[in-house]
Amino acid sequence: MQLTSYTDYALRVLIYLAMSPNRQATITEIADFFNISRNHLVKVVHQLGSKGFVKTTRGKGGGISLQHPPEVIRIGDVVRSLEKHFNWVECFDPAQQHCRLLPGCGLRQLLTRAGNAYLQVLDKATLADVLSGATPDHCR
């Protein structure tokens, strides 16, 4: 179970913004901090804005900031909104189902349960939990 770098960058942006909630940051500032492509980060921030996680202000004195307090931004919501699919293995993608073990293989059902458990843990954690470095008891 692996997140795309796109989702990884989005989570980094949210964490960075949550670390300084009383000011706006720029894309260049965040890209420099994480040593990642500014052009790639522009796309990530645009999508975070369109999904309602950040607000963007153009022009002099503009920048990006969190749309909501860190305590209400659920990590599971962010991951689900940015990941295109959760095709853990080939048989999850109907276009790629060429496995000779289908339909009798139980791996798909097992991985579906594991994936659901993975997402349930992320659903219980907020951006504030990530900032504190503590995992809430209900996420363990």
- The CATH number for 30's domain is 1.10.10.10
Domain that holds residue 82: 5-139
| Total residues found in the chain within this entry | 140
HSE (side-chain half, CA atoms, 13 Å) at 17: 27
DSSP letter for 133, please. T
Is the pLDDT higher at 102 or at 20? 20
The dihedral through the CA atoms of 6, 68, 32, 131 has a sign that is negative
* Cα–Cα distance measured from residue 23 to residue 86, given in angstroms and rounded to the nearest whole number: 35
pTM: 0.83
Average pLDDT over residues 110-138: 82
* Number of domains forming the structure of the chain: 1
pLDDT digits (tens, 9 = 90+) for 23-77: 899 999 999 999 999 999 999 999 999 999 999 988 888 899 999 999 999 999 9
Q: Check: CB of residue 128 under 8 Å from CB of residue 134.
A: no
